[in-house]
A and B are shown apart, each in its own frame.
Chain A
Amino acid sequence: MNIHEYQAKQLLAKYGVAVPFEIPAKSLAEVRPAADKIAASGSSRVVVKSQIHAGGRGKGTFKTGFQGGVKVASSVDEAVSFAEKMLGNVLVTKQTGADGRKVQTLLLAAGEKIKKEFYLAVLLDRANSRPLVMASTEGGMDIEEVAEKHPEKIFKEHIDPAVGIMPFQARKISAALGLKGDLFNAGVKLITGVYNTWWECDAAMVELNPLAVVELADGKETVMALDAKISLDDNALYRHKDILEMRDLNEEAPLEIEASKFNLNYIKLDGSIACLVNGAGLAMATMDIIQHFGGNPANFLDVGGGASKEQVTAAFKIILSDPNVKGILVNIFGGIMDCNVIATGIVAAVKETHLNIPLVVRLEGNNVAAGKKTLAESGVAIITGDSMADAAQKVVKAVGK
């Protein structure tokens, strides 16, 4: 699960990470009081930030033509006028796709005087199953580009999960960022807090880009998280009720939400051939083989270990609500489940959904002969495939007609 920037910073702040003075606003009525408070805090500028689950906001464009999903206002009035152009409008960035995302929350933040920008992230290093803290002096940049062109500019520190981050490790990272004196100590505190946020919240990734050295009103400098992104381990949400409440369904595809109600794992893609498969690996492989034979998969859909009539019916309804779908490939390896039960479920689902596009079914496994017979004698138009290759070729051909 992903959360918004303002939510991420709320979590970080709990673990002692310094963040700018900032207030989220969900309606225009909330914008002016929030901007007033920020101005009253002594900040001469108010940053207005669109809250969507996608990067590239600053360089994004609203469908109204308004440029920039992040704006720096030099007065409260200007902040309100930016907010009017953002809130409720659809922002398109390089990460949202052409459809963009509707901005439903703004974050109003004090405009900090930035002296230097860094990058800091915590994630799992799958190669050795340990947490990894990554830091770079190249802040505000695309970190993947830095990793590719200047790998020496990325500092990596692995954390032993038995003891957690040790103070010396936070000091090493703070030193690697070139922080000195009071800033060095502030860096140690912040780095420790970021790691603890990752660990305690069961995050998949915590990323500050940028983490910045800022100059305060009194001329002193400190470090703070100017932007933050947190994604969470879905499997651990059961023990974080407070974080689960941060879920924003507006940011998720409606069909994917609907699918999850039926324990279906559905991800919409752009193609025309829908697939319904049991098992994630086989589902990916089915998408691949459709493409191999010249088609384009319309979705990933894993019905899990079983494939009951209810699940197949729900899956068909979800698949069919995608207007691009011109044909369906069902690929079930019924290892333990009886293929005849699956076949009966498919026939019932076809009838219930009044399916009128080509359907190719490939069944394999337990009692497969009876399953194929049920399909053949059902009176509904089902094309059967003997192997994955055969079925994929048949569905590509049927859709191409």
Chain B
Amino acid sequence: MSILVKPNTKVLVQGITGSFGAKHAQLSIDYGTQIVAGVTPGKGGQFFEHGGKKIPIFDTVADAVKQTGATASAVFVPPPFAADAILEGADAGLELVVAITEGIPVRDMVRVKRALQGNPKTRLIGPNCPGVVTPGDGKDSHGGCRIGIAPGYIHKKGHIGVVSRSGTLTYEAVWQLTSRGVGQSTCVGIGGDPVNGTSHLDVIKLFNDDPDTHGIIMIGEIGGSAEEEAAEWIKKKCKKPVAGFIAGATAPPGRRMGHAGAIVSGGKGTAEAKISAFKAAGIGVAVTPSEMADTLLKMM
């Protein structure tokens, strides 16, 4: 088992003909993910060919869903059109929309988030995220479901759930686990923007309910209070060991550290506050990012 996606999840790619979307669609196909359709308005009827596969391209997500039965999508469309693409996915009845796009205006996401309240069937992950990976059984976790831009081969099928706002820091944690022979159930990058579809807490709840997830690594960073909210819930309800790391202890206040959401403003969102919330909730805190996996493994 896993959360959000399984190896047989049918995935479509919005923006499959752009260079970024195409590259990662190819890598997902190589990984063994069921990429069943692409969507690029105006290119319906064409095919995306890779590795001996011919993936049909549609003008609309609704058509793609109707023809292929896709239930999840990866959004690679450029920022000005991303809000539209996300809501198109929701309108087509997708269960999961994973928005990889970086640089979507906050106002667009505020409207998207509000509109999605009328579409409770659809879960949005991201934007500005590495995506979701449920590792497969094969060599280097081949045969899993990879939606997004994470390197597939660093994963290994297993029982640890990973949730993080950051891309490369997630890979770091995953690689630490895999290098120690410990696999993952699902790895979820929720994105570094101030407004995102799915929070740390949402993912933690899914992991808590997933019988195949035995332990959780939660990686946070400065800005907002999502980590504190997750910690509060973990303290009361979580049945599984959780280890965490918070990035940005050395970040100067008032400066945005790469991610749009990574900013300490008005004394809020500090690493210190998040780390103490973690400690108060019994979450194992990795003192350095090198110890994320070991901190969890010691608790299990």
Contacts and interface: CB of A to CB of B under 8 A. Distances in A.
A336 B169 contact: no
B221 A233 contact: no
Given A238-B80, A364-B175, A281 B168 contact: yes
A236 B107 contact: yes
Contacts of A297: 250
Contact of A285 (B106, B153, B245, B266): B245
B195 A126 contact: yes
Contact of B106 (A143, A202, A288, A389): A202
Interface stretch (A34-42, A109-117, A127-135, A186-194): A127-135
B151 A280 contact: no
B289 A291 contact: no
Given A199-B107, A335-B150, A281 B251 contact: no
Nearest to A237: B105
A269 interface: yes
Contacts of B149: 305, 336
Given A131-B110, A335-B168, A236 B194 contact: no
Contact of B169 (A235, A267, A281): A281
A365 B164 CA distance: 19
Interface residues of B, number: 63
Contacts of B168: 277-279, 281-282, 333, 335
B247 A288 contact: yes
B194 A284 contact: no
A236 B105 contact: yes
B27 A289 contact: no
Contacts of B221: 280-281, 284
A387 B166 contact: no
Nearest to B174: A335
Interface of B: 27, 79-80, 103-111, 113-115, 149-151, 153-154, 164-172, 175, 192, 194-195, 219, 221-226, 229, 245, 247-252, 255, 257-262, 266-267, 271, 287-291
Given A236-B107, A284-B221, 19 more contacts: A129-B195, A130-B110, A130-B114, A202-B105, A204-B106, A233-B106, A234-B260, A235-B106, A239-B80, A267-B257, A280-B166, A280-B221, A283-B258, A285-B289, A305-B167, A336-B151, A365-B154, A365-B175, A389-B288
